């Protein structure tokens, strides 16, 4: 594909990003240090809302009923509307300081949230691109509208299926989706045909609210058990463990061994009782199903539903199923991939200087490895064409498998032409196959010297791609024509998959979060030494 000539507006955007790079670096660290997790990103979303308002955007807070989501707009007259977005949720149990040694952020324990992908850099690259496009539109009189959504809870595939169902991606001429590279060959490239697959996530809640019905009282008719050794209902903890074990045991029969699928679980609440002779009244377990197709997700769900019913019956409980996410597999758009990759080619891959390499060598040694002259993998500073990356990706996939892995940007792709591109994040070279612990990658995502090159490169790519859509009618029309063709007529077309979201935002569950008590602010699992 040909590299487009940079327009004067694109040159303005690139210069703008060079000028605000110190601010982007500082802002990235701010979100990194917040380290807030799914559905509880209060400080992070508030920061974005305040920043966007300061930059002249109108902002709808709490969009689609999600307290930590938002939707921002800025318009420069009639014209196409271009979409971009930020993610900012972190992951529980990954609290790592921006340091070259393993340690949690000050005042916290390792169980607190921390950025792994890192979404701190993802969101800031998109914001930087957004601000650069706005500056270019103002200077060069480019008409159109910018829409920027705040997307919480990506780690549980949370907000995008809900935003999609509520129409927040409708009416866009295109969506620019960036993610830090996380698997080869998808490093400094754009997705071509094999986009991410479907994902279902749900919470099974077991409630033991009528334990007296599990076993009748003793013959004397006493209203309560007379001893701590009396018969009692097994309760919600037993139901949860029965569900957990049964679902592990039946995993092989949920789906055939093909198509690259996975299922994982997390226990959200436990017990609601002490060690007294009382049945646990409430327990919850969350499942995440990552599969290529919706049909596969439905098959696994049907097995889990049966397991939950059986576990509840065994344990004297009732059960409920609550949806966290139902997201669709992704829809390719070659025209958008070409626009994104052309922009990335113009910018060039990120580059890491000697200061960044020195930091990475320290991490190599402190993480149990050996310092190398070039501590980073070679692919970080190389581009790979989308078609070439696609060919490598397909080597390990059966021909019948259309989608692979999981991310909820896919819901956007059914409402507007969507580009999905990747820029290298810092990743260490491994000598002699030494496996680096998770903290090492997490730390490199917070240290300015190592993460800023990714943020700068991605922000420039976002800006150039968005301006291409605004300025180039031919490229924009080609992307929309492909979208209409692939969906069989656009939104509502014969090949279009409608939103799967038929549930309210799952914001009221016991999601891990930071709490403030008389002891101060801490993670909901107190750090060691907390009184």
Confidence of residue 253 (pLDDT cuts 50, 70, 90): confident
pLDDT beyond 90 at 235 = no
CB 241 within 8 A of CB 271: no
List of residues 6+ apart from 69 with CB closer than 8 A: 45, 62, 63, 149, 150, 151, 152, 159, 163
Q: What would the mean pLDDT of 396-419 be, rounded to a whole number?
A: 94
Strands (E), 143-242: 145-151, 174-180, 189-190, 198-207
pLDDT beyond 80 at 259 = no
pLDDT beyond 80 at 6 = yes
Do 136 and 50 reside in the same domain of the chain? yes
Domain boundary among 303, 328, 353: 328
pLDDT beyond 70 at 70 = yes
pLDDT beyond 50 at 297 = yes
Which of 429, 464, 439, 434 is closest to 352 using CA atoms? 429
* Residue matched to tokens 């949370």: 158
Asked whether residue 418 is domain-assigned, the answer is yes
Domain boundary among 297, 328, 359: 328
Q: What would the mean pLDDT of 219-223 be, rounded to a whole number?
A: 51
Do 311 and 347 reside in the same domain of the chain? no
Asked whether residue 531 is domain-assigned, the answer is no
Q: What would the mean pLDDT of 411-421 be, rounded to a whole number?
A: 98
Cβ neighbourhood burial of 22 (10 Å; 0-12, 13-18, 19+): exposed
pLDDT beyond 90 at 62 = yes
Do 26 and 139 reside in the same domain of the chain? yes
- Which token pair is 97? 């300081």
Asked whether residue 511 is domain-assigned, the answer is no
Q: What would the mean pLDDT of 307-326 be, rounded to a whole number?
A: 95
**Range with the poorest average pLDDT among 128-132, 397-401, 422-426, 446-450:** 397-401
pLDDT beyond 60 at 218 = no
Task: Tell how many helices (H) and how many strands (E) occur in the chain.
Answer: 13, 13
Q: 231 or 496: whose pLDDT is higher? A: 496
Cβ neighbourhood burial of 190 (10 Å; 0-12, 13-18, 19+): buried
Do 121 and 266 reside in the same domain of the chain? no
Q: What is the mean pLDDT of the chain?
A: 93
Do 178 and 208 reside in the same domain of the chain? no
Asked whether residue 437 is domain-assigned, the answer is yes
Do 449 and 317 reside in the same domain of the chain? no
Per-residue pLDDT at 1: 47
Pairing of strands 282-291, 318-327: unpaired
List of residues 6+ apart from 324 with CB closer than 8 A: 156, 157, 158, 201, 202, 203, 286, 288, 506
* Residue matched to tokens 């009282």: 217
Confidence of residue 306 (pLDDT cuts 50, 70, 90): very high
Do 203 and 311 reside in the same domain of the chain? yes
Domain with 384 in it: what CATH number?
A: 3.40.630.10
Q: What percentage of the chain reaches a pLDDT higher than 90?
A: 82
Asked whether residue 473 is domain-assigned, the answer is yes
Q: pLDDT tens, 417-440? A: 999 999 999 999 987 888 999 999
The span from the CA of 36 to the CA of 86, in Å, is 14
Confidence of residue 336 (pLDDT cuts 50, 70, 90): very high
- Angstrom distances, CA of residue 529 to CA of 109, 174, 521, 525: 9, 50, 13, 12
CB 498 within 8 A of CB 24: no
Q: pLDDT tens, 136-185? A: 999 999 999 999 999 999 999 999 999 999 999 999 999 999 999 989 99
Per-residue pLDDT at 4: 55
Domain with 211 in it: what CATH number?
A: 3.30.70.360
Give the domain extent around 23.
8-195+330-487
pLDDT beyond 60 at 80 = yes
Task: Provide the whole-model pTM.
Answer: 0.94
Asked whether residue 514 is domain-assigned, the answer is no
Do 33 and 90 reside in the same domain of the chain? yes
Do 362 and 456 reside in the same domain of the chain? yes
Which of 114, 446, 156 is closest to 325 using CA atoms? 156
Q: pLDDT tens, 8-20? A: 999 999 999 999 9
Domain boundary among 471, 487, 503: 487
Confidence of residue 531 (pLDDT cuts 50, 70, 90): very low
Do 170 and 311 reside in the same domain of the chain? no
350: left (phi over 0), alpha (psi -120 to 50) or beta: beta
Pairing of strands 418-423, 189-190: antiparallel
Asked whether residue 303 is domain-assigned, the answer is yes
Q: What are phi and psi of 483, to 5 degrees?
A: -60, -45
The span from the CA of 16 to the CA of 466, in Å, is 15
Q: What would the mean pLDDT of 349-359 be, rounded to a whole number?
A: 98
Q: What is the DSSP string of 497-526?
A: PPP---S---TTS----EEEETTEEEESSP
Asked whether residue 432 is domain-assigned, the answer is yes
Q: What would the mean pLDDT of 362-386 be, rounded to a whole number?
A: 96
Do 419 and 442 reside in the same domain of the chain? yes
pLDDT beyond 90 at 471 = yes
Structural domain count, the chain = 2
Do 457 and 441 reside in the same domain of the chain? yes
The span from the CA of 269 to the CA of 274, in Å, is 13
Confidence of residue 356 (pLDDT cuts 50, 70, 90): very high
């Amino acid at each position: 594909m040909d590299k487009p000539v940079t327009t004067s507006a694109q040159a303005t955007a690139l210069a703008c990003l060079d000028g605000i790079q110190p601010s982007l670096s500082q802002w990235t660290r701010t979100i990194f240090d917040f380290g807030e997790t799914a559905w509880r990103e209060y400080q992070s979303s508030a920061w974005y809302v305040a920043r966007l308002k300061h930059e002249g955007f109108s902002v709808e807070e709490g969009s689609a009923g999600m307290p930590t989501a938002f939707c921002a707009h800025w318009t420069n007259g009639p014209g196409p509307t271009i979409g971009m977005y930020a993610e900012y949720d972190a992951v529980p149990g990954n609290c790592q300081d921006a340091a070259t040694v393993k340690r949690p952020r000050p005042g916290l324990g390792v169980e607190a949230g921390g950025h792994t992908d890192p979404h701190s850099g993802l969101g800031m690259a998109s914001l930087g691109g957004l601000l650069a496009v706005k500056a270019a539109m103002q200077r060069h009189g480019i008409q159109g509208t910018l829409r920027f959504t705040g997307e919480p809870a990506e780690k549980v595939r949370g907000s995008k299926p809900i935003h999609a169902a509520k129409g927040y991606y409708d009416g866009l001429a295109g969506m620019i989706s960036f993610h830090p590279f996380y698997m080869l060959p998808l490093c400094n490239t754009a997705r071509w045909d094999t986009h991410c697959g479907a994902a279902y996530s749900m919470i099974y809640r077991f409630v033991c609210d009528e334990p007296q019905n599990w076993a009748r009282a003793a013959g004397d008719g006493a209203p309560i058990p007379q001893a701590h050794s009396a018969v009692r209902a097994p309760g919600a903890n037993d139901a949860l463990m029965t569900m957990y074990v049964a679902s592990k045991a039946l995993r092989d029969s949920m789906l055939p061994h093909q198509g690259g699928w996975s299922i994982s679980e997390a226990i959200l609440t436990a017990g609601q009782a002490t060690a007294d002779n009382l049945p646990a009244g409430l327990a919850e377990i969350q499942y995440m199903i990552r599969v290529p197709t919706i049909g596969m997700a439905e098959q696994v769900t049907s097995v889990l539903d049966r397991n939950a019913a059986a576990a509840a019956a065994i344990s004297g409980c009732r059960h409920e199923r609550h949806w966290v996410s139902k997201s669709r597999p992704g829809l390719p758009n070659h025209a958008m991939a070409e626009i994104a990759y052309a922009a990335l080619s113009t910018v060039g891959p990120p580059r890491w200087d000697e200061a960044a390499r020195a930091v990475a060598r320290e991490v190599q040694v402190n993480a149990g490895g050996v310092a190398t002259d070039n501590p980073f993998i070679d692919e970080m500073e190389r581009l790979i064409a989308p078609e070439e990356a696609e060919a490598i990706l397909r080597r390990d996939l059966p021909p019948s498998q259309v989608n692979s892995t999981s991310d909820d940007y896919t819901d956007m792709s059914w409402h507007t032409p969507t580009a999905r591109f990747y820029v290298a994040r810092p990743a260490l070279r491994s000598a002699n196959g030494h496996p680096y612990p998770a903290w090492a990658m997490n730390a490199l995502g917070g240290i300015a010297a190592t993460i800023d090159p990714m943020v700068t490169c991605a922000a420039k790519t976002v800006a150039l791609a968005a301006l291409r859509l605004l300025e180039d009618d031919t490229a924009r029309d080609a992307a929309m024509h492909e979208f209409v063709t692939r969906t069989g007529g656009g939104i509502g077309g014969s090949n279009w998959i409608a939103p799967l979201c038929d549930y309210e935002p799952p914001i009221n569950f016991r999601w891990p979060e930071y709490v403030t008590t008389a002891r101060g602010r801490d993670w909901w699992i107190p750090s060691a030494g907390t009184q």
